[in-house]
């Protein structure tokens, strides 16, 4: 499968030569990659981002394949969080933040008039690096917050709560304390609550910014399981510092370095045969 086929149904950004390596054809593509055709759920085109005068993303272009997991890796401060915050327009809420270039969802510009940020953020959910449950709301209300805060209510709230909590691997731990305040959970539980909160509104895309950095290995494994479960129906973008995790959960990997996209390829190819020496240095732990 080629990168071109990945991005075919939407206007395709032409990656600058040398930056994006074509995925290496492999004898046995993983099952996730075998089904064709692949469609880009979101596409980033020549995206640059600033904080005040400081430019932190330099013309990044890449696709996020529909119903697949894309990992974003790179050293601390390279712009990973900034990049994914541009995907649900959370970048622009910060004072002094600016951006240029285009971000497409289902082939249409998310800044176009057809989609307001509120609608966009319901379709493109987000889990933050630091768990941020709402401390004054109960566990149950936290899960339903995405509905309540947009002035809507699900048909069967109890089912939504249970399903979201089960999928986030938290149900067993909290089913007897759904009325407890959201602030009463441990750090790892709080993060899973945030994941449940994001899942409860059934987003089409889920952005996860280092979702496991506060979790123990068991909870991490559960989240990775969850990602596998979700992948057939949800487009997932996950930022991670953990190479093994990126290799385990993702079909595609993007390597960002100092605000530039150095390499984007199928995960297996990127980790076994990186095209750029900087990628190789990073994944072998020579810097970052």
Partner 1 sequence: MDAWLYPPPPQRTVSPRLRWRRLADRLFRGAVVASVVVVLAPLAAVLATVIAKGAPALDLAFLTHLPKPVGETGGGVGHAILGTLFLALGGLGIAVPVGVPAGVFLASDRMPRLAGVVRMCADVLAGVPSIVVGLFAYTLLVMPFRQFSALSGAFALAVIMLPTIVRTTEEVVRLVPPTLTEAALALGAPRWRAMLGVVLPSAGKGVAAGIIAAFSRGAGETAPLMFTAFGSQFLSWNLLQPIAALPLVLFNYAVSPYEDWHAQAWAAALVLVVLVLVANLVARYATARRSA
Residues that bind partner 1 (CB under 8 A): 88, 90, 93, 95, 117-122, 125-126, 128, 130, 132-137, 145-146, 148-151, 194, 197-198, 201
Q: How far is the CB of 282 from ligand ATP (least distance, A)?
A: 12
Q: How far is the CB of 197 from partner 1 (least distance, A)?
A: 7
Instruction: Determine which residue in the list 81, 88, 235, 245 makes contact with Mg ion, applying CB under 5 A.
Output: 81
Count the Cβ atoms, other than its own, within 10 Å of residue 137: 17
Decide which of partner 1, ligand ATP, Mg ion, none touches 99; Cβ closer than 5 to 8 Å per partner kind. none
Q: How far is the CB of 62 from ligand ATP (least distance, A)?
A: 15
Residue closer to partner 1 by CB (options 10, 144) is 144
Residue closer to ligand ATP by CB (options 76, 114) is 76
For residues 86 and 47, what is the distance between their CA atoms, to the nearest angstrom? Answer: 9
Residue closer to partner 1 by CB (options 3, 193) is 193
Cβ-contact 224, 249 below 8 angstroms: yes
Site string for Mg ion, 40-79 (x = CB under 5 A): ----------------------------------------
For 253-264, give the DSSP string. Answer: EEEEETTEEEEE
Residues in contact with ligand ATP by the rule CB under 6 A: 51, 56, 74, 76-82, 94
Q: How far is the CB of 53 from ligand ATP (least distance, A)?
A: 10
Cβ-contact 126, 211 below 8 angstroms: no
Residue closer to partner 1 by CB (options 8, 149) is 149
For residues 211 and 198, what is the distance between their CA atoms, to the nearest angstrom? Answer: 12
Residue closer to partner 1 by CB (options 198, 215) is 198
Q: Is 245 in the site for Mg ion (CB under 5 A)?
A: no
Residue closer to partner 1 by CB (options 71, 90) is 90
56's tokens: 């932190």
Q: How far is the CB of 239 from Mg ion (least distance, A)?
A: 6
Q: Is 240 in the site for Mg ion (CB under 5 A)?
A: no
Site string for Mg ion, 123-142 (x = CB under 5 A): --------------------
């Amino acid at each position: 499968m080629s990168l071109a086929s990945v991005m075919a149904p939407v206007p395709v950004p032409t990656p600058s030569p040398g930056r994006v390596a074509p995925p290496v054809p492999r004898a046995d593509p993983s099952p996730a990659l075998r089904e064709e055709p692949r469609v880009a759920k979101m596409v980033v085109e020549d995206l640059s981002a600033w904080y005040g005068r400081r430019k932190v993303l330099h013309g990044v272009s890449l696709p996020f394949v529909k119903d697949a997991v894309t990992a974003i890796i790179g050293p601390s401060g390279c712009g990973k969080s900034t990049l994914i915050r541009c995907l649900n327009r959370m970048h622009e809420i910060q004072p002094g933040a600016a951006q240029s270039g285009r971000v497409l969802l289902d082939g249409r510009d998310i800044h176009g008039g057809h989609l307001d940020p509120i609608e966009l953020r319901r379709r493109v959910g987000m889990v933050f690096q630091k768990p941020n449950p709402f401390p004054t709301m109960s566990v149950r209300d936290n899960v339903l917050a995405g509905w309540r805060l947009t002035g809507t209510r699900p048909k069967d709230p109890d089912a939504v709560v249970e399903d979201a909590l089960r999928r986030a691997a938290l149900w067993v731990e909290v089913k007897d304390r759904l009325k407890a305040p959201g602030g009463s959970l441990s750090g790892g539980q709080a993060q899973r609550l945030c994941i449940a909160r994001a899942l409860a509104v059934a987003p089409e895309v889920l952005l996860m910014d280092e979702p496991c950095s506060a979790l123990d290995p068991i909870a991490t494994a559960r989240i990775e399981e969850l990602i596998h479960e979700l992948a057939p129906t949800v487009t997932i973008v996950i930022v991670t510092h953990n190479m093994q995790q990126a290799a385990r959960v993702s079909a595609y990997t993007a390597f960002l370095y100092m605000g530039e996209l150095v390499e984007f390829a199928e995960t297996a190819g990127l980790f076994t045969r990186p095209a750029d020496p900087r990628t190789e240095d990073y994944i072998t732990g020579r810097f970052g």
